[in-house]
Structure 1
Amino acid sequence: MERRTFLALVAGNVLAAPLVADAQPAGKVSRIGILSTANLRSVTLWVACEQRLRELSYVEGQNIAIEFRNAEGKLDRLPGLAAELVRLNVDLIVTATDLGTRAAKGATTKIPIVMVAINYEPIALGYIASLARPGANITGIFFRHVELTSKRLELFKKMLPGVSRVAVLADPESADQLREVQTVNRSLGLKLQVQDLRNPPYDIKSALVAVMRSRPQALFVLESASIFSARTHIAELALTNRL
């Protein structure tokens, strides 16, 4: 099973929990707000979430309504979209990125927020007090992905022992991962060239043209919603440039 599909199925269970806990009266339609930073509703994460909800007998058009809002990579739109979901009086808001969670947190202190914290650290960012006692109106799942980023780089080094010059694709959403990479690299000694992607949807071709000027031997890609949406294009261009 694809990793993101598995995560989404787990997220579906977490997402359903507030609906069960709220003990909705028969015939009531619960409204779920989904705040997406860059990905369409058709991507694996959201499709698998909805699949799991159906398996738990929550079916759109019957007992739930889904209000999907996508910032399409335009990060400054997130606060407005979060406020729109609050005005719609949804029963809960689902987020999957750092900036999405921040926008939802800024928009409401009452509506439950279910975060799927794949590539950010919610405790360090102040979204929750602790894993055992999140506090406030935010709950969800946390995969310690930032910590795993350092393990990925260590494995990367072991797999490619002859590589010393590495280009790193990063963006504002993956800032936590970049700091982790730079910290662990103090002991690995790789020459990192960070290519900071800005203003999604990203111009990946121009970014890799800039990267290739320093003649890197390999490419290390950090993870975010915007980068994930361009994953196929990144892989194709990396192969073309023999990275």
Structure 2
Amino acid sequence: MKKITKMVISSVLATVLMTACSQSSQNGQSDVKHIGILQYVEHPSLTATRKGFIKELAKEGYKDGKNIKIEYKNAQGDQSNIQSISEKLIKDNKLVLGIATPAAQSLTTVSTETPILFTAVTDPVSAELVKSMKKPEGLATGTSDMSPIKKQVSLLRKVMPKVKRVGIMYTTSERNSEVQVKQAKKIFQEAGIKTSVKGISSTNDVQDTAKSLMSKTEVIFVPTDNIIASSVTLLGNLSKELKVPVVGGSADMVPSGLLFSYGADYEALGRQTARQAVKILKGKDVAKVPSEYPQNLKVVVNEDMAKELGIDVSSIKNNK
């Protein structure tokens, strides 16, 4: 009888312990926050943003593989594939990040309740991601990478005070580029500088379009543009050959062919976005987290290109 009683007690204790362990394991799993990241295309600026985002989350105590689980997807610029990726990320995660305008737009189209962060988006309002920067009012908020075009033009005028005509090249299918070009045309006009604007639809158009613009202008201005960024080495070679500098764009484009860039520090932009993410992870309503412009801007100079074009590098560095 005693032996049977002991067996029953042992069995009950084992069941209790197993249940407790199971519940503990389930609670541990529920404490892990799932975060999805959708990057539109493989691009140094976008990748730097993603890495900055993850680093800052870790700094704030949210470490991948410990108390958060990050699911990363890259659409590789494929519009036909981006919706299905977005649907999966929205389904499997409690918070998602869209890097670049097309990625962010796709996520907001799919989501009905999952909060969305965006980054490396030039104009979140015109992209219909938020109602306004200060009051997003929807499921999305994040950071813009809008370049300080007025400051870029001001720096260009100091470096090339005699410039009279600027060529502008951009990808017509990229909304972010359209916004920047519209703003740039206005600022150049106000500065008394004439512009010649040409749009491209793919990398196949870059060489002929650039040559055409360089034949009738003194300098080429390019926005932060994914297609142009992927062809910046070609632009750099043409710049050296025809002695026409190319400016603008993003910092990662400078070593490959731009003379200089004045714009967002993309890793810092990712970190800035992560600080917004922390607020949401702690329970703040995404609609009440204001969208932000880049807090860290920098001038990056291609010294080899400057020498090739006969431009004094100090004239750029001293006029930041």
Range into which the TM-score falls when normalised by the shorter chain: 0.7 to 0.9
Counterpart in the other structure of 1:55: 59
Q: How does 1:178-189 map to 2 (within 5 A)?
A: 178-189=181-192
Cα distance in structure 1, aligned partners of 2:132 and 2:223: 25
Aligned pair count?
213
- Structure 1 contact 39–225 (Cα < 8 Å) conserved: no
The structural deviation recorded for 1:202 is 6.2
**AA of the residue aligned to 1:33:** G
Q: Deviations along 1:190-218, whole A, 9 cap, x unmatched?
A: 2322232323x666444423433x33211
Considering only aligned residues, what root-mean-square deviation do their CA atoms show, in Å?
A: 2.8
Cα distance in structure 1, aligned partners of 2:110 and 2:135: 21
Counterpart in the other structure of 1:130: 132
Cα distance in structure 2, aligned partners of 1:119 and 1:235: 25
Counterpart in the other structure of 2:89: 85
State whether structure 2 residue 32 is matched by structure 1 residue 32.
Answer: no
> Please, which runs of 5 or more residues in structure 1 have no aligned partner?
1-24
The structural deviation recorded for 1:230 is 4.5
**AA of the residue aligned to 1:238:** S
The structural deviation recorded for 1:50 is 1.8
**AA of the residue aligned to 2:222:** V
TM norm structure 2: 0.57
Counterpart in the other structure of 2:164: 164
- Structure 2 contact 129–141 (Cα < 8 Å) conserved: no
Q: SS of the counterpart of 2:52?
A: helix
Cα distance in structure 2, aligned partners of 1:74 and 1:202: 17
State whether structure 2 residue 197 is matched by structure 1 residue 194.
Answer: yes
- Structure 1 contact 119–174 (Cα < 8 Å) conserved: no
**AA of the residue aligned to 1:135:** E
Q: Deviations along 1:79-116, whole A, 9 cap, x unmatched?
A: 333223224x2122212322222211111121111112
Distance of aligned partners of 1:233 and 1:77 in 2 relative to their CA distance in 1, 3 Å threshold:
farther
Cα distance in structure 2, aligned partners of 1:133 and 1:94: 19
- Structure 2 contact 43–226 (Cα < 8 Å) conserved: no
Q: SS of the counterpart of 1:223?
A: coil
- Structure 1 contact 166–191 (Cα < 8 Å) conserved: yes
**AA of the residue aligned to 1:101:** A
Q: SS of the counterpart of 2:125?
A: coil
- The structure richer in helix per residue is 2
Q: SS of the counterpart of 1:43?
A: helix
Q: SS of the counterpart of 1:185?
A: helix
Cα distance in structure 2, aligned partners of 1:175 and 1:60: 36
**AA of the residue aligned to 1:47:** K
Cα distance in structure 1, aligned partners of 2:144 and 2:197: 26
Cα distance in structure 2, aligned partners of 1:76 and 1:192: 35
The structural deviation recorded for 1:225 is 4.0
Q: How does 1:1-243 map to 2 (within 5 A)?
A: 26-27=28-29, 28-39=31-42, 43-87=47-91, 89-116=92-119, 118-142=120-144, 145=146, 148-171=148-171, 172=174, 173-199=176-202, 204-212=206-214, 214-231=215-232, 233-243=234-244
Q: Deviations along 1:164-193, whole A, 9 cap, x unmatched?
A: 222212122311111111222332232322
Distance of aligned partners of 1:74 and 1:202 in 2 relative to their CA distance in 1, 3 Å threshold:
farther
Cα distance in structure 1, aligned partners of 2:89 and 2:211: 40
Distance of aligned partners of 1:153 and 1:106 in 2 relative to their CA distance in 1, 3 Å threshold:
same
Q: SS of the counterpart of 1:166?
A: strand
> Please, which runs of 5 or more residues in structure 2 have no aligned partner?
1-26, 245-320
Distance of aligned partners of 1:40 and 1:131 in 2 relative to their CA distance in 1, 3 Å threshold:
closer
TM norm structure 1: 0.73
Distance of aligned partners of 1:167 and 1:101 in 2 relative to their CA distance in 1, 3 Å threshold:
same
Counterpart in the other structure of 1:20: none
The structural deviation recorded for 1:134 is 1.6
**AA of the residue aligned to 1:108:** S
Distance of aligned partners of 1:156 and 1:75 in 2 relative to their CA distance in 1, 3 Å threshold:
farther
